[in-house]
Each structure stands twice: as C-alpha cells, then as structure tokens.
Amino acid sequence: MEFSHKAIEQKWQKYWEENKVFKTTNNSSKKAYILDMFPYPSGMGLHVGHPKGYTATDIISRMRRMQGYDVLHPIGWDAFGLPAEQYAIQTGNDPAIFTLKNIDHFRSQLKALGFSYDYVKEVNTSDPSYFKTTQWIFEQLYKHDLAEMREVDVNWSADLGTVLANEEVLVIDGKMVSERGHFPVVKKPMKQWVLKITNYAEKLLAGLDELDWPDSVKELQRNWIGKSVGAEIKFAVENRPEIIDVFTTRADTIFGVEYIVLAPEHPLVDVLTTADNKPAVAEFIKSIENKTELDRQDTSKEKSGVFLGTYVINPVNNKKLPIWIADYVLPFYGTGAVMAVPGHDERDFTFAIKYHLPISYVIAGEHHNNVYVKDGKHINSEFLNGLDTKSAIEKALEVLGKKNIATPKVSYKLRDWLFSRQRYWGEPFPVIHWEDDSISLVDENDLPLTLPKVDNIKPSQTGESPLANVSEWLTVVDSMGKKGRRETNTMPQWAGSCWYYLGYLLKQEDGTMLDIQSAEAHALFKKWLPVNLYIGGQEHAVLHLLYARFWHKFLYDIKVVPTSEPFFKLVNQGMILGEDGTKMSKSKGNIINPDNIIQSHGADALRLYEMFMGPLEASLPWSTKGLDSARKWLDRVYRLAKNTNFITVNDGTLDYAYHTMVKKVSEMLENLNFNTAISQLMVFINACYKNEEQIYQPYWKGFLKLLSCFAPHLAEELWFMLGHQHSISLSAWPDYEEKFLVLDKIVVAVQVNGKLRAKLEVKKDTSEDELLMLAKQHSNVQPYLENRQIIKEIIVKNKIVNLVVK
Ligand code: ANZ
C-alpha cells in the first residue's frame, strides 16, 4: 500500500504555514540558533546538493523544538552577485526584478521540501532595508581606520573594457586570460577600497581555539592567516644611503647569504638599478605582469630574475652581495625582500644554480653540492659556530639586535581585503569624492544609499563600474555648491554574507528591520548568539568564514554584539555527486533535479534518502536505487500504521526495541549521525512487523516524533491519524527508560566436552535447573548425550551450560 505523497505533502505544508508552526519562539531559557549557509538565488533553482545540508539542519531544528528549546532556523538570499550582473548586461533585464523572481522560485522549492524555516525572518542582501546596515558597518570600519583607499593592482581586460574578479581569470600557457573569450588580462593599478583584516590577524588566529569546528577548516584558516615568527635584518647598500630590510625566519644563516633579492615591485628597484641594467630590468618587470601570484610561488615552476647592478654589505662579515630582483619574491609578504641563502634554501639554491651565483654552507652535514635543509651544528659562522638552528637563531638575534641590525618581527600571509568591485549589482559605497580631493561618508541617517534604476547596464569602458554612466546619480552638490562624485565601485558579494546571521535577528514580523544599534537588537543578540550550529559547503572554509569572523570581531570590539565569535559549531556537508561518481555538471548531463524527485518520490523520500546515503561530511554518488528504497521504507511505515492495532496497555513486547531506538537516535542526532539514526528507526519498524500487528500506542507516537525530523509530512499525517489536533512539532521529544535497555531474552551457550553444540534463547535470569533441562532436551545436544554418562554439569546463569560426558 502506497501513500500519495503529493496529497500529503502539500496538505501539511499548507497547514504549517497557516498555523505558523515554525515561528521563532521566545519562551524558554534554552535556545538553539541553527543556521544554513544561505543560497545565491541563481536562475537555475535549487540543486540536489542544497537539500543535503538543509535537511541536516532541519532535523536538528525539529528535534530542538520538541526538546523545548526556542529555535531560530531562518533562511535568506545572498542576492547580489556576478551571474546576475552578467545576465543583466547580456539581456538588458533589471537584476532587481529577476532576482526577486529567482527568490520566489527558490522559496517555493524550499517549501516543497518541508523545511521548518521561519520565513518571517527571511532576508535579502540586495534589499535596501538590508544593505542599509551593510553600509552602516562599512562606515564604522572607515571611522575606525579599518577601511581605506589604496592603489591596488586589478585584473584589467582591455578587450572587454572591464576589470575582472580573480575567479573570472584563467591562466593558459602561463598567461592570464579572461574566462569569457580568452582575452589577455594584465595587472593595472587602480584606486580601490581595502579593509584592513590584517589588523585582526592575531585575534582571528586565537579565536579558532575556542571553536567546535572541523580541524581541517581551522587548519585552512591558520594557513591562510599564515603567521610566521622571524626577524627583519638591515643590509646597507654599498656606497649609497639606502638600507634594505629583509624578512627572514632564519637569522642563523646570515653568514651564508650570497645575494639579496627584491620583489620586482619593491619601491627601491628603480633607484638601485644602474643605468646599463635598466633595459633588462624593465623587460623583466614587463614579463611578469601577467603571471599570477600562485604561479610565482609554485616551487615546481622555474624561477627567473635579473641583477640590478648594485650591492649591499653583509653586516656580519662585510661581504659584498649583489642585489637581484626575482619573480619568486612576493611584494606583499614580509618586507618584499629576502636574504638568499642558497646552501640551505631550496628556492635560493635553484636560482643560484641557474644564474651561476656562489653557494656556501653554514650548517655542517653531507652537502653533496646540493641544498641542505636539515638541522645541524653551525659552521663558518664565527659566534654561531657549534650551535643548532634554534639556539643559533636566538644568538644571532641577540648579537644583531644589540647593534640595531635585527629586530624580531611577525609576518602574516594574510592580506588586506580588496573590497571594491567594478559592478552595478552590489551595495553602493556610501562615499562621496569631492572636487577638492576630500572624501566624505553619506550621513548615517541618510542610509541606505540605493542603486539608481538603470534600463540597460553597460560596462563603462574605463574600468569603472556601470554606475559611472549614470550621471544623475553620480553627481552631488553640497549646500555650498561644492561638487562631488559618488563612488562608482560597489561592495563584493562577501559583504552581505558577513553579517546575515545578525540580519535574521533584526528582521521583524512586519517586514522591517530593527536598527542594529537598538536596545531590542542588543537583547536579541544576547539571547541568540553565538550560532549553535552552522552547516554549509567546504568551499567556504576560508573566505566567507574568515570575513564574517572579522566583521563579527569588529562589531564585538565596538560593542554591537556580545560574543567574540559568530559561529560556535561548524560542519561541512559533503557533495552529492552524479550517479557516475563525478561532480554534477550540465555538460556531463548527470544533474538530478530535486523538483523531479519531489514529483516522483516525494520530499520525504528525498530527505530520508539524502540523510541515509552515508555520513553527512562524505561526498557520495547519487543512486536512484537508494532513493527507491527510501521511498519503499516509508511505504512500509505507512502500511504498518494502517494495518496495526494500537493497544493502550503495554504488552512489553516492544520495550527493548523502542527504548533502545529512542536512546540511540537521540544520541546519534546530537552527533549528526543521521544515517545510523535512520538505521535505528528501521530496526524498530522491523521489530514492529515481527510483533504481529499490535503496537503499544505511546511507542508508536514516540517513533513518529523521531520520524518527523526526517520525513515530516508522513509523520504529521500519521500523527493526526491518531486523533491529534496539533502539529507533531509541538509535542515533546520522547524519553527512554534505562531499565528497558537490556534485552529480556538472552542467549546461553551449551557446550558438551568444551565444544559448542547449541544456543538457547531464554528469558533473562532463567533458573539453573531450567537451563539444564532445556540444554539436555535440545535437539542439537541430544545426539552427544546418547549412551553417554554425564559426569559434570557446570551452569553459569545467563551465560553457559557446560556438560562433561564420557
Ligand atoms: C633566509 C632563509 C634561509 C630563509 C633559509 C629560509 C631558509 P615563511 O616561513 O613562509 O614565513 N621570504 C621572506 N619574504 C619573502 C617574500 N616576500 N617572498 C618570498 N619569500 C620570502 O618563510 C619565510 C622565509 O621566506 C624567509 O626566511 C625568506 O627566506 C623567505 F635557510 O630567509 B628566509
């Protein structure tokens, strides 16, 4: 007997909505803020990957509600973004309008999956009532000197007349080209907004220790921040006033320095290049213009460089060392200059071989004319001789420190965050550039600064955003007649997602948003923060999560939020791969559309199947067979409900099965072990089937509550079938009793002369006499007793009967 998922699912979705069953409550001292990474509402709609994480959070939200928590489980839309901009440019459509259409489509898809979101809390990052606060936060960052304009290299495509995001640039044959059309891309300096996330490097590192996040994600963040403890050492240029500061983690190798390398972008390159070396240097600099940083760092790629014609003097031994520039030295790390020790550093070694530079060794070992990177006693190093690396670093810093040649220094790989995009479809910067070169912010009371309506979004051809074409919007005149121009850049998509988990809290029932600084907002932050569980894709392990932590820590410092971290527990769900085991993609034709599955098998089956595939974190291939089985099992549950007699006096037969299920499922859900929890539900249903059409009703209700997390529509249907008048979500989570967790029946082994001959399934604590009798009568035992004499009977209650015969 099958149930009609179409009828059931729509019926309950309507009921939940009309009765506001999932409204955020505020009547408990326990709270659970359960957050999904909100989707970008693309024109393609939801894919089957979305429901995986979303079902997981839905299960936990439903459980927490039944456990008496106040639950906040919201959803919203990360609605600014590049695809919308491109679509608008190509088709002339208004992104504000088609984005709303896409959102409607996404929302109806999510509703069809039966997620228990409180849609009152919905936010849309592209809505002015939302980005008013994004702009306000930017203004605070500016006022706290964490936002500034800098000349920064951007990816410029002259053919497309536009600046491209890193994601839109490919490297083909070592050259940067645009993803669209494969046009050449070069670096071009432009004035850009930068957020000084590096000021928070230390806090962002330290905060990781208090978080319940996967170690792999913490490690990725640590590496991204890339703290490195070392020193800056000064090298004076020969016969000139300039000093070159290098950053090194290996001050101990100072006697092994053979040359100095500057990043080609280093400000001293020009002055330190002699006249006859200028052409070669200029040519070299041009040659690396279209190399990405990743390429430059890649150790497998050949390093190249040129000599500037000038020298420095090594402060410890007055040795004259040539100054080079090379691609492998990066401008924004450390000081953008290194002391090269080819004897003991891999990259310096390859470079020295290529350009026939001398190589010397300052650490004892078997060098074999190769680079030597092991630890060892220092040699050829005067006051460092005989010391190992650690002590030699300390000693070198002590000696050079006294002479003011070296200072301890910490460097971070983390860069300040390039915060401008040359786009229309983003948050406008609330900034005016005046004709006298001053900058001012739009008054906080005048926020939001909205986007002008534009009929046809076109690139500006100058590298500025399409907003540069909208002169009515662009031009500002102050009360004194001074002319100004609005900032034409907009913020990157990351901005809106940096604080949306606060946005949900600000969202009011009447559709408005609270002021982030209001007392009401503060009370809500106090109640709900930090987010208890945050589930989303691994692809956001670094950027989104680091940026959001940065803003949160800033808001904490300015006393807007009461916690120093936004997301206490984080889990990355794995991907759902195509049936062929590869990533789903249009070109491979292996995409599964959730709408079709909802039609054919139902949302409950889809949810159950995605949770049963395997551990949440694993990436696993889709299997239609697996989906069919999920649906069949739901039918099995439905059949049972229809054909069973629900009894009100407990006959005890399901005690063990029921209480074990409740205990295990509760524990497994705490640990997000959804697939094994489902197995427990299955074990219980098997026990019910064995029980010949008779189930103690309270146990059935308890089962339905657990089931309602996974298959909410069917569970609700069966719940109301029992005569209930209110949603199962409003009922209390089932308890288990310890005393029922031991199986009543146990297995007792029967041995004859030490050999296992039978197993008795008996009631626990069966008497020794009875055990002996049952053992002797057992058909597998009897043949071994025939014509024999029993000389010893050893009986251990609940365990074993051992007969010795001769
Ligand atoms: C001398 C030396 C000797 C070094 C030796 C290493 C080994 P981490 O640990 O990643 O911080 N370096 C410094 N600034 C650089 C830049 N802008 N671009 C490329 N390389 C740079 O690496 C620090 C080391 O990387 C520094 O220590 C420096 O080389 C190099 F046996 O100095 B070392």
Q: Is-contact 233 246, C-beta < 8 A?
A: yes
Task: Single out the residue in 358, 390, 412 at which a domain terminates.
Answer: 412
Task: Single out the residue in 344, 377, 412 at which a domain terminates.
Answer: 412
Residue 783 belongs to domain spanning: 745-805
Give the model's confidence band at 167: pLDDT under 50 very low, under 70 low, under 90 confident, else very high.
Answer: low
Rounded mean pLDDT of 103-109? 97
Give the model's confidence band at 760: pLDDT under 50 very low, under 70 low, under 90 confident, else very high.
Answer: confident
Does residue 69 form part of some domain? no
Does residue 787 form part of some domain? yes
| Rounded-to-integer distance, Cα 749 and Cα 759, Å | 5
Please say if the pLDDT value at position 150 is more than 80. yes
| Rounded-to-integer distance, Cα 302 and Cα 654, Å | 71
Check whether 586 is labelled as a binding-site residue. yes
- Give this prediction's pTM: 0.87
For the chain, the domain total comes to 2
Alpha helices in 645-694 (DSSP H): 655-670, 674-690
Say how many Å lie between the CA of residue 247 and the centre of ligand 1. Answer: 7
488 contacts: CB under 8 Å, gap ≥ 6: 422, 460, 464, 465, 467, 468, 474
Does residue 269 form part of some domain? yes
| Rounded-to-integer distance, Cα 155 and Cα 157, Å | 7
The sign one gets for the Cα dihedral 414, 419, 421, 425 is: positive
Q: Is-contact 144 195, C-beta < 8 A?
A: no
Tell me which DSSP letter residue 673 carries: -
pLDDT tens, residue by residue, 549-587: 999 999 999 999 999 999 999 999 999 999 998 998 878
Q: What torsion do the CA atoms of 738, 739, 741, 745 make, to the nearest 10 degrees?
A: 170
Say how many Å lie between the CA of residue 249 and the centre of ligand 1. Answer: 6
Rounded mean pLDDT of 647-671? 95
- What pLDDT score was predicted for residue 497? 97
Q: Which residues are 805's β-sheet partners?
A: 790
**Which CATH number goes with the domain that contains 344?**
3.90.740.10
> From the alpha carbon of 263, which atom of ligand 1 is closest?
17
Angle at 91 between CA 86 and CA 92, to 5 degrees: 95
Backbone φ, ψ for residue 46 (5° rounding): -70, 145
Backbone φ, ψ for residue 236 (5° rounding): -80, 140
> From the alpha carbon of 336, which atom of ligand 1 is closest?
17
- What pLDDT score was predicted for residue 285? 93
| Rounded-to-integer distance, Cα 177 and Cα 169, Å | 6
Q: What share of the chain is helix, strand, coil (3-state, %, to 5)?
A: 40, 20, 40
Q: Is-contact 634 605, C-beta < 8 A?
A: yes
Q: What's the mean per-residue pLDDT of the chain?
A: 94
**Which CATH number goes with the domain that contains 773?**
3.10.20.590
| Rounded-to-integer distance, Cα 624 and Cα 593, Å | 12
The sign one gets for the Cα dihedral 301, 302, 303, 304 is: negative
Q: Closest Cα to atom 27, ligand 1: which residue? A: 248
Three-class secondary structure of residue 758 per DSSP: strand
Q: What torsion do the CA atoms of 4, 8, 10, 15 make, to the nearest 10 degrees?
A: 170
> Do you find a cis peptide bond into 530, omega within 30 degrees of 0?
yes
Three-class secondary structure of residue 649 per DSSP: coil
DSSP secondary structure string for all residues of 449-490: -PPPP-SS----SSSS-GGGG-HHHHEEE-TT--EEEE---B
DSSP secondary structure string for all residues of 11-27: HHHHHHHHTTTTPPP--
Amino acid occupying residue 258: E
Q: Is-contact 252 244, C-beta < 8 A?
A: no
What percent of the chain lies above the pLDDT cut of 70? Answer: 99
252 contacts: CB under 8 Å, gap ≥ 6: 362, 378, 381, 384, 387, 389, 392, 393, 395, 396
Per-residue b or e along 562-587, where b marks 16 or more CB atoms closer than 10 Å to that residue's CB: ebbbbbbbbbbbbbbbbeeeeebeee
Map tokens 């479809």 to a residue.
Answer: 425
CB-based burial label for 274 (10 Å; 0-12, 13-18, 19+): exposed
Q: Closest Cα to atom 5, ligand 1: which residue? A: 345
Alpha-carbon Rg of the chain, whole angstroms? 35
Please indicate whether residue 167 or residue 168 has the higher confidence score (pLDDT).
168
Q: Closest Cα to atom 33, ligand 1: which residue? A: 248
CB-based burial label for 793 (10 Å; 0-12, 13-18, 19+): middle
Q: Which residues are 476's β-sheet partners?
A: 484
pLDDT tens, residue by residue, 46-64: 988 899 999 999 999 999 9
Question: What is the CB < 6 Å shell around ligand 1?
Answer: 228, 247-250, 253, 263, 328-330, 333-334, 336, 338-339, 341, 344-345, 411
CB-based burial label for 762 (10 Å; 0-12, 13-18, 19+): middle
Three-class secondary structure of residue 226 per DSSP: coil
Q: Closest Cα to atom 12, ligand 1: which residue? A: 338
Say how many Å lie between the CA of residue 423 and the centre of ligand 1. Answer: 37
Amino acid occupying residue 168: E
Could you count the other beta carbons within 10 Å of the beta carbon of residue 403?
Answer: 10
Say how many Å lie between the CA of residue 339 and the centre of ligand 1. Answer: 8
Rounded mean pLDDT of 388-401? 96
Q: Closest Cα to atom 22, ligand 1: which residue? A: 249
291 contacts: CB under 8 Å, gap ≥ 6: 174, 176, 327
Say how many Å lie between the CA of residue 331 and the centre of ligand 1. Answer: 12
Tokens describing residue 28: 């408990």
Q: Closest Cα to atom 10, ligand 1: which residue? A: 228
Q: Is-contact 61 73, C-beta < 8 A?
A: yes
Q: Is-contact 718 638, C-beta < 8 A?
A: yes
Please say if the pLDDT value at position 295 is more than 80. no
Please indicate whether residue 761 or residue 151 has the higher confidence score (pLDDT).
151
The sign one gets for the Cα dihedral 577, 579, 585, 588 is: positive
Three-class secondary structure of residue 665 per DSSP: helix
Does residue 371 form part of some domain? yes
Q: Closest Cα to atom 29, ligand 1: which residue? A: 248
Please say if the pLDDT value at position 296 is more than 80. no
Q: Closest Cα to atom 11, ligand 1: which residue? A: 228
Please say if the pLDDT value at position 300 is more than 80. no
Q: Which residues are 412's β-sheet partners?
A: 227
Q: Is-contact 484 432, C-beta < 8 A?
A: yes
| Rounded-to-integer distance, Cα 123 and Cα 701, Å | 36
| Rounded-to-integer distance, Cα 499 and Cα 125, Å | 10
| Rounded-to-integer distance, Cα 296 and Cα 171, Å | 12
Q: Which of 286-290, 626-630, 647-651 has the lowest mean pLDDT?
A: 286-290
Angle at 530 between CA 527 and CA 536, to 5 degrees: 135
> From the alpha carbon of 228, which atom of ligand 1 is closest?
11
Angle at 729 between CA 633 and CA 685, to 5 degrees: 25
Instruction: For strands 694-696 and 645-647, give the pairing.
Output: parallel
Rounded mean pLDDT of 97-108? 96
Say how many Å lie between the CA of residue 444 and the centre of ligand 1. Answer: 45
- What pLDDT score was predicted for residue 166? 74
Rounded mean pLDDT of 336-363? 97
Amino acid occupying residue 478: D
> From the alpha carbon of 257, which atom of ligand 1 is closest?
1
Q: Closest Cα to atom 19, ligand 1: which residue? A: 329
Three-class secondary structure of residue 799 per DSSP: coil
Rounded mean pLDDT of 236-264? 97
Tell me which DSSP letter residue 413 carries: S
Tokens describing residue 570: 């984080």
Does residue 349 form part of some domain? yes
Mutate which of 333, 351, 409 for ligand 1? The one with the most ligand atoms within 8 Å of its CB, which is 333
Rounded mean pLDDT of 588-607? 94
CA 330 to chain CA centroid, nearest Å = 28
Give the model's confidence band at 181: pLDDT under 50 very low, under 70 low, under 90 confident, else very high.
Answer: confident
- What pLDDT score was predicted for residue 187? 83
Task: Single out the residue in 354, 378, 412 at which a domain terminates.
Answer: 412
- What pLDDT score was predicted for residue 274? 97
Q: Closest Cα to atom 28, ligand 1: which residue? A: 248
Query: Which residue, 338, 198, 339, is CA-closest to 258?
Result: 339
Please say if the pLDDT value at position 613 is more than 70. yes
Mutate which of 338, 348, 360, 367 for ligand 1? The one with the most ligand atoms within 8 Å of its CB, which is 338
Does residue 341 form part of some domain? yes
Mutate which of 249, 351, 410, 411 for ligand 1? The one with the most ligand atoms within 8 Å of its CB, which is 249
Does residue 520 form part of some domain? no
Q: Which of 466-480, 567-581, 740-754 has the lowest mean pLDDT?
A: 740-754
> From the alpha carbon of 343, which atom of ligand 1 is closest?
31
- What pLDDT score was predicted for residue 419? 92
| Rounded-to-integer distance, Cα 179 and Cα 181, Å | 6
Mutate which of 222, 225, 228, 248 for ligand 1? The one with the most ligand atoms within 8 Å of its CB, which is 248
Backbone φ, ψ for residue 548 (5° rounding): -65, -40
Please indicate whether residue 230 or residue 764 has the higher confidence score (pLDDT).
230
> From the alpha carbon of 334, which atom of ligand 1 is closest?
14
Three-class secondary structure of residue 540 per DSSP: helix
Q: How far is CA 779 from CA 179, 383, 557, 757, 774, in A?
A: 78, 90, 79, 10, 10
| Rounded-to-integer distance, Cα 677 and Cα 172, Å | 48
Q: Is-contact 641 628, C-beta < 8 A?
A: no
Does residue 792 form part of some domain? yes
Query: Edge-to-edge, what's the strand order for the sheet holding 570-573?
Result: 70-72, 31-36, 533-537, 570-573
Q: Closest Cα to atom 2, ligand 1: which residue? A: 250
